[in-house]
Structure 1
Amino acid sequence: MTTLVLDGGLSTHLEALGADLGDELWSARLLLEDPGLILSAHAAYFAAGADVAITSSYQASLPGFARRGLDGALAERLIRLSVELAAQARDEAGGGLVAASIGPYGAFLANGAEYTSDYDLDEEGLLAWHRPRWEILASSEADLLACETIPSYPEARALARLLTETPSVKAWVSFSCRDATSINDGTPITEAAALFTGNPQVVAVGANCTAPRHIPGLIASLTGMLPVVVYPNSGETWDADQRRWLGLADPVEYGQAAKEWQAAGASLIGGCCRTTPEHIRQIRSHLS
């Protein structure tokens, strides 16, 4: 099976380009203030060898924009713009795919709940919260949806239900994981992935926003269920007291690890937080 190379940390590269993302809307703020910078970031990842651009809609939601004072029509326009920017970069690069990011409810909370699964909504509440943005992105020109950084089994159930409501849509589902066998709420990843097994709409299931050391075990758990997608963090750790990242993840080492993930069975491979175009260039080099 051909391995697709995903892009890396969009916000990481936006910050490298000079963006201040110290905001609860994170990169989604730039959809309103500086969409050209988002286009430049997508272009850099395609130039580095990515086959797939993940849109800047991770933190973009109707409730999130409403909290900022934007009306529903403008919020919808900005969410659609995230796809248009990725598609423009794809077309200018000469080819590739656009995956519209469906970030978790925890991203809207902006309190780290995508890592703790500390939610105040049940499955029905999560279904209602996700549906408006889902419908916007499902009707966009994106090639597929990237349901990513999902920490919670009830949230995965809600997304599985939304898939059944939109049978023409393709998607991958990627969980944030606490270790080599479980998503962040403690559910075994095999149990969470089983929600999507047998659904022809689902192109892959896997993990992102997860430490690289957990990826081999997660791949081993998922192999044989569905194609596997992995795009972990760089491997650095966040020191909350010092408010800085500790350690240095070497892009060459990351590329070497990606080759091992491919050999273990992953068929979509990229990077998440703190990965850069150079990490993607090294993935492309090592997988080639």
Structure 2
Amino acid sequence: MAHITLLDGGLSRELQRFGAELRQPEWSAGALLEAPEAVRQAHEAFFRAGAEIATTNSYAVVPFHLGETRFAEHGLELAALSGQLARTAVDNTSDIRPTARVAGCLPPACGSYIPERFDATSARDILSVLVRGLAPYVDLWLAETMSSLEEARVTAEAVAGTDKPLWISYSLRDDATPPADTVAQKPVLRSGEPVADAVEQAVGLGAKAVLFNCSMPEVMEAAVIETRKTLDVLGADLPIGVYANAFTARGQDGAANEVLSEVRDDITPERYPLWTDLWVKAGATLIGGCCGIGSAHIAHLHARYKA
């Protein structure tokens, strides 16, 4: 089996576990404002579970959650704080994770799952703030939950010239009732654009890895297979990653993080590796979890792939 790099999981429920309160509109950014120690503790919990990457808690540091005024006044300092806390967690657990890295989260600047509302001009302004705040603390950039090719392109352009590698993670359309044979379906982004086009884009943008996140486990295997095929055609050798969520399907209705979504009973820490095994078999080597996947899930992945 190829070497597996373990990512972390979704921060929201870990933040709650350490005493942070999640509420709208701030969502996980509220922890930076009110309970920064919970952010550090959540990162450290993932490292102790076996994760090798800490993704900064900057996903909600955008006007969509903070509001335009508060983002203008505090966005830079909150982005920097999210980087500082992740870096401190790396330092605090260096005895058990000496090669741990910090991934600077670059979220959908105009709201998750809603590619039709993406505005490139606004996104560039927002992303420039995040990049400036995070740059001193991160080892790589993670453009995550990219729902369209345009969203990914603009996000990649925001870190051009920063001399840090870029990973691009796309979010897939996951219908409320997935077809019985999901592998036979051509995987698409939430915009409807083909995964093959997204992979070709990632290669063209100079990404060092292509991943898929914040979608149901059922749609991930087909995306990994399609990615492997496309990379072979392009003659490119990029790592492929998957970190699925544990939510019931949202389909095309509504933005992410509007409410604390219901977690599926069947995606337990014990059963999540049954999904990840499929992705690893298909060629994925970067494995973790998104919303609803906690440190207990990562611990089971560590036992599975690192024992």
State the TM-score, normalizing by the size of structure 1: 0.87
Q: Distance in 1 between matches of 2:276 and 2:169?
A: 17
Preserved CA contact (<8 Å) 2:149 2:201: no
> 1:32 Cα deviation (Å)?
1.6
> 1:272 Cα deviation (Å)?
0.4
Structure-1 residue corresponding to 2:264: 247
- Which of 145, 153, 161 pairs up with 2:157? 161
Give SS of 1:251's match.
coil
2:196 counterpart of 1:190: yes
CA deviation profile, 1:108-144 (whole Å, cap 9, x unmatched): xxxxxx22323052x344334422322332x322011
Preserved CA contact (<8 Å) 2:263 2:292: no
In structure 2, what residue type is equivalent to 1:182? V
Cα gap change, 1:237/1:70 in structure 2, threshold over 3 Å: closer, same or farther?
Answer: closer
Which residues of 2 match residues 71-110 of structure 1 at below 5 A? 72=73, 74-94=74-94, 95=98, 96-107=100-111
> 1:147 Cα deviation (Å)?
0.5
In structure 1, what residue type is equivalent to 2:221? P
Q: Distance in 2 between matches of 1:261 and 1:230?
A: 7
Cα gap change, 1:129/1:68 in structure 2, threshold over 3 Å: closer, same or farther?
Answer: closer
Q: In terms of mean alpha carbon deviation, does 61-70 or 11-20 score higher? A: 61-70
Q: Distance in 1 between matches of 2:20 and 2:162?
A: 37
Structure-2 residue corresponding to 1:55: 56
Give SS of 1:266's match.
coil
CA deviation profile, 1:23-75 (whole Å, cap 9, x unmatched): 22211111121100111111111110000011100111378546364653x43
Residue identity over aligned pairs, in percent, reads 30
State the TM-score, normalizing by the size of structure 2: 0.82
Structure-1 residue corresponding to 2:142: 146
Preserved CA contact (<8 Å) 1:100 1:142: yes
Cα gap change, 1:220/1:64 in structure 2, threshold over 3 Å: closer, same or farther?
Answer: same
> 1:161 Cα deviation (Å)?
2.5
> 1:159 Cα deviation (Å)?
2.0
Cα gap change, 1:63/1:264 in structure 2, threshold over 3 Å: closer, same or farther?
Answer: closer
Structure-2 residue corresponding to 1:233: 245
Preserved CA contact (<8 Å) 1:10 1:56: yes
Q: Distance in 2 between matches of 1:141 and 1:78?
A: 13
CA deviation profile, 1:179-222 (whole Å, cap 9, x unmatched): 4611100011121222221555x221121001001111010111
In structure 2, what residue type is equivalent to 1:270? G
Cα gap change, 1:190/1:135 in structure 2, threshold over 3 Å: closer, same or farther?
Answer: farther
Q: Distance in 1 between matches of 2:203 and 2:215?
A: 22
Unaligned runs of 5+ in 2: 175-185
Q: Distance in 2 between matches of 1:69 and 1:116?
A: 22
Q: Distance in 1 between matches of 2:54 and 2:302?
A: 14
Q: Distance in 2 between matches of 1:199 and 1:75?
A: 27
In structure 1, what residue type is equivalent to 2:300? Q
Cα gap change, 1:120/1:218 in structure 2, threshold over 3 Å: closer, same or farther?
Answer: closer
Q: How many pairs were matched up?
A: 276
- Which of 115, 128, 132 pairs up with 1:131? 128
Cα gap change, 1:173/1:71 in structure 2, threshold over 3 Å: closer, same or farther?
Answer: closer
Preserved CA contact (<8 Å) 1:5 1:268: yes
Structure-2 residue corresponding to 1:119: 117
2:286 counterpart of 1:268: yes
Cα gap change, 1:210/1:243 in structure 2, threshold over 3 Å: closer, same or farther?
Answer: closer
Unaligned runs of 5+ in 1: 108-113
- The Cα RMSD (Å) is 2.5
Structure-1 residue corresponding to 2:220: 215
Structure-1 residue corresponding to 2:27: 26
> 1:174 Cα deviation (Å)?
0.5
Q: Distance in 2 between matches of 1:9 and 1:243?
A: 12
